[in-house]
Amino acid sequence: MSTITVVHHEEHAEHPTGIIRWLTTTNHKDIGTMYLTFALIMFFVGGAMILGIRAELFKPGLQLMNPEFFNQLIGVHALIMIFAALMPAATGFANWMIPLQIGAPDMALPRLNNWGFWLLPPSAILLTLPFTLALFGIGDGALATGWTFYPPLSIQGGIGVDFAIFAVHLLGISSVLGSINIIVTVFNMRAPGMTLMKMPMFVWGWLITAFLLIATIPVLAGAVTMLLTDRHFGTHFFDAAGGGDPIMFQHLFWFFGHPEVYILLLPVWGFIPQILETFSRKPMYGYKAQVYSFWGVGVLSVVVWAHHFFTSGMPVPALLYFMYSTMAISLPLAVMFFCWIKTMWKGSMSFETPMLFTVGWIILFGIGGLTGLVLADVAADAQYHNSYFIVAHFHYTLFAGGIMGIMAGTYYWLPKMTGHMYSEKLGKLHFWLTAISFNLTFIPQFFLGLAGMPRRIPDYALQFAEFNMISTIAAFILGLSQLLFVYNIVTCARGGKKATAQVWEGAQGLEWTLPSPPPYHSFTEQPTVK
Amino acid sequence: MQVLKKIGLGLAAMLASLNAFADYAWNFPEPVTPMALDTLHVHNKFMLIAMAIFFVVLAIMIYSIFAHRKSKNFKPVADKAPSTAVEIFWILIPFAILLLIDFVIMGVPAYHSVIMMENTRDKANMVIKITGSQWRWQYEYMDGDAQGIKFVSNLSTPKEQTDKGFAGTKDGNYLLEVDNHLVLPVGAKVRILMTSADVMHNWWVPQFGSSRLAVPGFIRETWVQVLKAGTYRGQCKELCGKGHGYMPVVVDALPAEEYKIWVAAKKEELAKASIGADREWTKDELVANGKTVYEKNCAVCHQVSGAGLPPAFPALTGSKIANAPIFGADGKYLKDSHLDRVLNGVRVMPSWKALLNDIEIASVITYERNALGNSMGDVLQPAQVKTARQ
């Protein structure tokens, strides 16, 4: 990353080099780069786990692993993808882009920022260590309850559960620290003239995400702590025999878990209009409507949690309330989709890699959203719940809606970050391979779910064989295509065609006024926004 | 090479299976209860609406992608915010359409489905209780002719087929067959009380359209009314540990007459099974019977050989518990003894009190102490188990 240290103000350039630089850095770009690198590594760790699972599910029968190990892989795959890949990726972009986009020299709380990042590697180690310990005969492997920790299964589980609980604590602290930093930065460090209603959409997305994190992470931390005391200190929060209730855990978990979906998605929703306006060469449509929709989704997201466990049994009025409030989320989302398509409409579009990913994102996330609307129906949910239909649905929202959005953002800002252009040819190839193999992986899973295949089973009845085979083959293509992504990023960081400050013809916003790559300390003189 | 060969085989299988897709389920399986029928209607309707929205929006977007591109020299036309009342009206129309779709076109039928699904108040023709446990279902008939019938339903797919690396032909109902089917009369509204003995399970038959979580310590309700005779298969739908994929649900729906015959036969069978609970059994009898019980119920964790899967599932061969006395000086069974473990369970080990009868418990304990590499030489009589239960 030596390319980043092209320095305009020599007096600020003094910083340690080598490993000490990265351990002690308080620079928002360095920390952003570490977050993004960490996320990319963990994306492959989580991906390798799921490829193991897909290989096992290639045909009926047990071929590669026993059911215990299978159960460990599914849960750790989810925790890693959510907490160690998608969330750090979004935080990495926040670190890099929020100061650039609001015209600030750095994040408001740089030391906190450093700490926030360095909590992540230990928690990733905590999550995966039980796998290694089991090889040496200590414990029986990682968390085998799925990522949702439902008791009493998690109370039965081995040391993997305890490791995962502590990992979640650390990840939670890291997220809350990051959120505090972002809120303080956004409220205090905007350039003169940049009112809240002039902030870029990405900053808006993150601001709401930060509030959601602060509101919900403590609930998760509390719930898993109660689980810990149930496991080891004789409490009975989730044990009916002692007056507790296992369903209470589901309420607490999903009070965090549902907003978490939007925590993962809101930053990405911020990318989309910015990329669209750049490559449509016209200002985005309905900025205010989108900001209000972000707020709408943010508020609704904390009042719909119980739709994740309709089949657990609840009073009819509760079922109806959670059904209708869930359906209501489609209203702000529809406004956003309308604004995004209207931004494209009568623009002068070109389709570089970020734009391809964005258009693909809109279509695929649309499928995720619409199947979500159908899932809100309580009666039909009795069929969809915990079947492969739901697996397909949330991968449309979180892989297509999350990770593909992150990829769009990566290609969009990579030239700004590194100062070099990436290979457009490889980028486009990466997009097409990803989009096609993603659909081939998950469309069969919709049909598997409708036909009655439950999720989280290591072996299945013969009637599910064909679709599983297609899904596995496509999943391997999807996984391998991501190597192109890494190759493209690494070659781009190392060199290549120099990027201009503007990078994209239609790009708008403060980050494009700085040279590419930006100086080590951005905006030493405050820009003014009209 | 191996990999290429595998992919090649996979692709060949894909092509070959295109024919099979003709009768492959692309939608929910055929509904056989009023609830499943309603669910299918709601699902079809909602899917059509969702697809219509999707394709209309996609079409607009694709048109724009082809018409409004730089390579065609299309000059961007800046948007202006709606200012007049007419323009604002037009913006609000899609919003109104969506409100209508969400809360009227979808909302009203969804409301009726929920009310129907949760209507467990109407007089039911019969009541059954389903208890999930790791990893089997227990069924109990609570009233009517069948009152008192109670049995456990275990996976009956041969174990070698589910073993790792099995390469032979699998049964047609691989993983979807059990030893004792739940039998229900056609047309009767059956109220189902659902609970669990250990962790959460979810009793699900896709063709019934109902699934309900079995929560330990609580009773949840649902109902089914099977309208068509036949055998229906489903699976547990809530991750419940390593055997989650191995606890299927199989229900036979029989016409009223045949159901009556089944009830009589089942009662006779259960009565027969408990005969002999009071007599003295020989060690060989118990060991022989115990082997069957062990392989059906215990081998999934402790393995057929008794080697277990440590550390989660300890070995029985040489186990401290299987090689220690059961009864104390006062004639009562000891805490943490072999019998205590089997009757009451501990941590992951379930309680077998409700799942096995006296003969089965006596047999399996005697078997474990005198086989699997153990040779305690003692015998546990069914009568002793009966006393220990009190």
Q: Give average pLDDT by consecutive 10-residue segment, chain B, 390 residues.
A: 52 47 67 90 89 92 91 83 78 83 89 87 88 92 89 88 83 89 94 92 92 92 92 94 93 94 90 78 86 86 84 84 85 86 84 85 90 86 84
Q: What is the DSSP letter of B232?
A: E
- Chain A nearest-CA residue for B70: A348
Q: Are residues B241 and B226 in the same domain?
A: yes
Chain A residues within an 8 Å CB radius of B68: 280, 344-349
Q: Does residue B252 lie within any of the structural domains?
A: yes
Domain that holds residue B334: 283-389
Lowest-pLDDT range of A96-100, A144-148, A164-168, B90-94: B90-94
Phi, psi values for residue A430, rounded to 5°: -60, -45
Interface mutation target, options B51, B160, B199, B210, chain A, most CBs of A under 10 Å: B199
Exposed/middle/buried for B73, CB within 10 Å: 0-12, 13-18, 19+?
exposed
Q: Are residues B145 and B268 in the same domain?
A: yes
pTM: 0.88
pLDDT score of A6 more than 70: no
Q: Are residues B225 and B149 in the same domain?
A: yes
Distance separating alpha carbons of residues A509 and B188, to the nearest angstrom:
68
Q: Does residue B16 lie within any of the structural domains?
A: no
pLDDT score of A48 more than 90: yes
Among the candidates B119, B147, B181, a domain finishes at B119
A472: part of which helix (H) or strand (E)? helix A465-494
Q: Does residue B133 lie within any of the structural domains?
A: yes
Closest Cβ–Cβ partner in B68, B202, B215 for A346: B68
Smallest Cα distance from A208 to chain B, Å: 23
Q: What CATH number is attached to the domain comprising B330?
A: 1.10.760.10
pLDDT in tens, A72-109: 999 999 999 999 999 999 999 999 999 999 999 899 99
Residue B224 C-beta-side C-alpha neighbours within 13 Å: 32
pLDDT at residue A14, rounded to an integer:
67
Residue-range domains of chain A with CATH: 2-7+23-513 (1.20.210.10)
Confidence of residue A416 (pLDDT cuts 50, 70, 90): very high
Closest Cβ–Cβ partner in B11, B115, B311 for A140: B311
Least Cα distance to A295 among A219, A196, A366 occurs for: A196
Q: Are residues B243 and B147 in the same domain?
A: yes
Closest Cβ–Cβ partner in B21, B199, B204 for A153: B199
Distance separating alpha carbons of residues A379 and B34, to the nearest angstrom:
12
Distance separating alpha carbons of residues A115 and A121, to the nearest angstrom:
11
Closest Cβ–Cβ partner in A334, A373, A461 for B175: A461
Chain A residues within an 8 Å CB radius of B110: 323, 376-380
Q: Report helix, strand or coil for A367.
A: helix
pLDDT score of A3 more than 60: no
The total domain count for chain B is 3
Mark yes or no for CB contact B218/A247 under 8 Å: yes
Q: Are residues B143 and B225 in the same domain?
A: yes
Residue B118 in tokens: 């949760």
Q: Are residues B130 and B114 in the same domain?
A: no
Q: Are residues B292 and B381 in the same domain?
A: yes
Average pLDDT (A175-191) is 94
Q: Are residues B268 and B364 in the same domain?
A: no
Chain A residues within an 8 Å CB radius of B69: 348-351
Residue with tokens 């040391």: A159
Distance separating alpha carbons of residues B334 and A396, to the nearest angstrom:
56
Mark yes or no for CB contact B242/A338 under 8 Å: no
